[in-house]
Structure 1
Amino acid sequence: MDWTALLRLPSTILLVLAVVALLFTLVQLVALRERLHGGQRLASAGRAVLLLLAFALTLVLAGAGFALRGYRLWSEETPVVEIDARILSPQRWALTLHWPDGSTRQVQLAGDAWRLEAIVLKWQAPAVLAGLPPVYRLDRLSGRYDDAGQEATALRTVIDFREAGSFDLLDLHKQYPQWVPNVDVLFGSGVFLPLVDQGHYTVSLMRSGALVARPDEATEQRIAQPF
C-alpha cells in the first residue's frame, strides 16, 4: 500500500487529527482529576475549559473526516482508478478496480460498456486563497448497453461508491448549507468506454473537473476490431 498517497486523502488526515485531539482530551481529563483531588479550584476550572474545547475539536474533526470519506484531493490530472475487464458471458463482465492507494475491488456489470460518474466540489475564492483544494468523490459505476431500447428493458447493474452513507459532505451541503460554506460549484462528471475481454482502462480527473478514460494500446486495438 502507498501510504504517501493514502495520507493525501482529506478524510484520513482529518481522522488522524481527530485521534490526536482525542488523546489530548484524555490527557486534559487526567490533569483535571488531579487538580480536583488536589483542591486546586482555579486550575481545575482552566483545565475544564481546555477539556471542553479539546473535546469539541475532536467531534468537529471526526465529523468532518466521516463526511469526507470517499473524497480525494484534486491536482492538475489526478489518477482516479484503473479497471481490468474480463468477460463472463455475452454482456456479462467481471471488473477489477485498482485504486491509487493500492486497494482493489471486484464487481460484476451487465452491458456493452462501463460508465463511471463522479461528484466534484470547488470552493469560493476565500477558501481557495487559504489553500483549500477542490475535492471529488466517485459516485457510481454502471453498465451501459449500446442499444437504447435494450437499455430500457435489460438487466441494469449499478455499483454505489458512496462510503459515508447518509452522512456525506454533499448531503450536508444540501441540507445545512451554513455548515459547509464557501462552496462555489458542485457538479457531476461521467465517462464511458466499450468493454472488451482482457481490457485495461485508466480514469483520471482533469483540472476542469472532467473525467477522462483511456484504454491501453492493446485494449484500444480490441475496441477498434470489427465484430
Structure 2
Amino acid sequence: MDWTTLLRLPSTMLLVLAAIALLFTLVQLVAVRSRLDQGQPLAATGRGVLVLVAFSVTLVLAGAGWGLRGYRMLTEEQPVLDIDARILSPQQWLLTLHWPDGATRQVRLSGDAWRVEAVVLKWTAPVMFAHVPPFYRLDRLSGRYDDAAQEAQAPRTVVALDSHGSLDVVDLKRLHPGWIPGVDTVFGSGVFLPLVDQGHYSVSLMNTGALVARPDEVTEQRLQQPFGG
C-alpha cells in the first residue's frame, strides 16, 4: 500500500465521521425544538449547546476530510511519455519514445542526459478541485551534457515533440483568451534524467502542472552505480 492509498483512507473515514456528526447535530436540533414545545427552556439550552458542539465537530471533520482529498488530488498524475534508451557510442544514444495513445518514435540524442519540456495550461483552484486535469503540449526533447563547458561547445540535439499532446493551449490562449475561463497561467515545465544503456524512464504531469520524471527500478539501481553501471 503506497502513501497515496494511505491518504485516501483517513480522508474517507473523516468524511464518514463528519456525516455521523451532522446526523447527530440534526437529532439534537429536533430535540431542542421538542424541549421548547414542552416548555423546558433549561433542557433546550443544554441541547442547544450540544448542537453547537456537534456542528463545530462536523465542520472540523469535513474540512479535514476535504483537505486530504484535495491534497491527494494535487499529487495525482497523468502519464505523458515513456522513454527507452540504448547507447550507440559514448554520449550518443538511440531513444524510443512511447506516448499514452500507443504512438512511438525513435530519435538519436547527444549528451549525458535527456530533457523533456512541455507547455502547460494550469487551472485556477476551483477548476482544479473539480478534478479537471491541466492541459499540456509536449514541446521538445533535447540532450544535456553533465559538463557545462562541453554543453557550450559540443553538438546538441533538439527534437520537436509538438505533434503530440492534449491541446495547443498556447495558440488557443493567445488567439482567443476569453474562450478559456478558469485559466490561472500558461507556463513551461521541464525535467531531465541521466542516461544509461537499456534505461527505461516515465514522464508524467501532476495536477499542479509540473512534469515529473522517474526511472524504473532497474534503471534507478544502475544510475546509482559508478558511471551509470
Q: Structure 2 length as normaliser, TM-score?
A: 0.59
Equivalent residue letter for 2:213: A
The 3 A distance-change label for structure 1 pair 78 and 126 is closer
| Residue 107 of structure 1, CA deviation | 0.8
Equivalent residue letter for 1:91: Q
Match for residue 97 of structure 2?
A: 97
The 3 A distance-change label for structure 1 pair 131 and 199 is closer
Equivalent residue letter for 1:153: Q
| Residue 109 of structure 1, CA deviation | 0.6
Match for residue 77 of structure 2?
A: 77
| Residue 124 of structure 1, CA deviation | 4.4
The 3 A distance-change label for structure 1 pair 85 and 103 is same
Tell me the matched-pair count.
Answer: 152
| Residue 217 of structure 1, CA deviation | 1.7
The 3 A distance-change label for structure 1 pair 179 and 94 is same
3-state SS in 2 of match to 1:162? coil
Partners of 1:169 and 1:206 lie apart in 2 by: 17
Moved more, 142-151 or 176-185: 176-185
| Residue 171 of structure 1, CA deviation | 2.3
1:88 aligns with 2:88: yes
Match for residue 152 of structure 1?
A: 152
Gaps of 5+ in 1: 1-73
Deviations 1:175-223, CA, capped at 9 Å, x for gaps? 4424545422111211110001111111111122211111112211221
Match for residue 171 of structure 1?
A: 171
Partners of 1:211 and 1:126 lie apart in 2 by: 21
Match for residue 195 of structure 1?
A: 195
3-state SS in 2 of match to 1:219? helix
Deviations 1:134-178, CA, capped at 9 Å, x for gaps? 2112111110000011111111111111128xx943023224424
Gaps of 5+ in 2: 1-73
Partners of 2:92 and 2:124 lie apart in 1 by: 43
Tell whether the 8 Å contact from 2:136 to 2:168 is kept in structure 1 after alignment.
no
The 3 A distance-change label for structure 1 pair 197 and 133 is closer
Partners of 2:224 and 2:75 lie apart in 1 by: 32
Partners of 1:133 and 1:181 lie apart in 2 by: 14
Tell whether the 8 Å contact from 2:121 to 2:169 is kept in structure 1 after alignment.
no
Deviations 1:87-130, CA, capped at 9 Å, x for gaps? 01111100001111122111111000000111111234786688
3-state SS in 2 of match to 1:156? coil
Partners of 2:119 and 2:102 lie apart in 1 by: 22
Match for residue 208 of structure 1?
A: 208
Tell whether the 8 Å contact from 2:134 to 2:207 is kept in structure 1 after alignment.
no
Greater helix share, structure number: 2
Match for residue 115 of structure 1?
A: 115
3-state SS in 2 of match to 1:149? helix
Partners of 2:224 and 2:158 lie apart in 1 by: 26
Tell whether the 8 Å contact from 2:120 to 2:169 is kept in structure 1 after alignment.
no
Partners of 2:190 and 2:123 lie apart in 1 by: 21
Higher gyration radius (CA): 2
User: Taking every aligned residue pair, what percent have the same amino acid on both sides?
Assistant: 70
The 3 A distance-change label for structure 1 pair 210 and 129 is closer
Partners of 1:199 and 1:131 lie apart in 2 by: 33
3-state SS in 2 of match to 1:151? helix
Partners of 1:216 and 1:172 lie apart in 2 by: 35
